[in-house]
Amino acid sequence: MKLLFSNTGMAYHEHLVKTYGRAFRVPGMFGETMLYVHDPKAMHHLVVKDTHIYEESDDFLLTAKNVFGKGLLATIEDDHRRQRKMLTPAFSIKHMREMTPTFYGIIHKLRESITQQVVPGGEVEIDLLSWMTRTALELIGQGGFGYSFDTLEHDAPEHPYSAAIKNYLSALNGVPSLLLTRLFLSRGLWELGSPKFRRAVIDAVPWKKLHELRDLVDIMDGTAVEIFESSKRALNDSESDLSKRIGGGKDVMSALLKANMTASEEDRMPDDELIAQISTFIFAGMDTTSNALARILHLLSEHQEVQDKLRQEVSEAYEKQDGDLDYDTLNSLEYLDAVCRESLRLHPPAFSVLREAKVDGVLPLGRPIITTDGREVSEIFVPKGTKIFLSIHHCNREEEIWGPDAAEWKPERWMAPLPSSVADARVPGIYSNMMTFLGGGRACIGFKFSQLEMKVVLSLLVQRFKFAPSGKKVVWLNNGIVQPSTENSPLTAMGHKKLHLPLNVSFAKPA
């Protein structure tokens, strides 16, 4: 069980899947049984068809509620559907088209700041994770909430929110005793009394690690309240010109507040739910996108032929257009799209998700398995309370679906028709026959937002810069989100490895 959730135990997952296949039982703590699954048919039932049986675990929901408030991550059933109904229009393609100029304005600042660090004719080592984290936060700040976190100047101080959200998962998962508390004691302790009483208990407990996490959550909550109040004031001010707001009034929160004002009583979200969406979106969108971008830059540094081909495509596109690329032109770049798809397939930022059986259920399988007593079965009885580990990583790499080269990073696979086995597998994900953004009613609502971020960043950076390995061995840690560090990276003050991605950066030579 410890290896299953260890940030350095990813080889253990590979061993389990290679040994036992698409579905198997893993013994947990205190006699608990966990089901490990990456069978596509089973996943369809888990995330689409039988969500009334298989839902987020109580532990996850309680943790999400305590940290982020009653947002999308912390709600289920009718509350979740009501919130999602209100939020979906703000993430439409129409809205993404309107948001594209805002994104370009941010990435031009990023590119100029990196330019200031690079020496003409030479190369310099730069921590690209730090820049991707700052950039992703500013993108979601302006695009999501009409709020600026960061000037993206080279010597600008890091916004406290950026450090807080970057360190939250690694801090939470890096302390075994704290993980134990979260998983097994949270129901009793964190539902005891009023929020004010629970806060007093946390303050009184002489536990440094718990207080560090408390402080991180305070920063996130305080910033969310500030963003919400600012957006609400601007919308209620009859003399306010929303077009002069950061992001031109096209941000997600402005759209949501407008829709909420005209919504029916049963659909309307109260202020506490609106505030909760802010922390939820930043947490769900910033860390995943920044680490996905870091992974792509790392892959490009190791595959110069792919980087050169991508640079040629984006450079030719910019030469044909006066200024920045519009949304449709950007999404028409086939090789850029292929690089993004292949990277998200092979290296999903979220390695897995957890579900819990709320009642007894039967889970069908797409391929039969052999039980320990030698029987062949095509379905599994799942008792109430069973935790289910859905491996996004292994579903995306299944050889029977993607072919014998499934574990290889090959963007070219997307430049030709995919094998029929991909469609035949009926993977229930909402994006390109993979589970990276999940599927069903809890699929990632902001996946189009994330794709736009990634394509704008990559198109502008790869056009100007060449990325190469620094010589330091990069390791990827599974902290809930897969994050980069280096083999000999020192420990931070919070006791976990420093998160960074050192790459050598130089100016790209004109084609």
Binding residues for heme: 444
Taking CA atoms, 184 is separated from 4, 60, 74, 119, 348, in Å, by 16, 11, 18, 53, 28
CA dihedral of residues 205, 210, 212, 216 (deg, nearest 10):
-120
Q: Which residue has the tokens 């579905």?
A: 23
Which runs of E-coded beta strand occur in 143-295? none
Alpha-carbon gap, residue 132 to 293, rounded angstroms: 7
Alpha-carbon gap, residue 381 to 474, rounded angstroms: 41
In contact, 55 and 356? CB cutoff 8 Å: yes
- The helix (H) or strand (E) run that includes residue 416 is none
Length of the chain counted residue by residue: 511
Q: Which residue has the tokens 């919400």?
A: 228
Alpha-carbon gap, residue 235 to 254, rounded angstroms: 7
Q: Extract the annotated binding site.
A: 444
- The helix (H) or strand (E) run that includes residue 26 is strand 23-27
Angle between helix 208-236 and helix 271-302 axes, rounded to 10 deg = 110
Angle between helix 128-145 and helix 252-262 axes, rounded to 10 deg = 30
Q: Give counts: helices (H), strands (E), the chain.
A: 21, 12
Per DSSP, the three-state class of 191 is coil
Which positions ≥6 away from 484 have C-beta within 8 Å? 129, 291, 294, 295, 298, 474, 475, 476, 477, 499, 500, 501
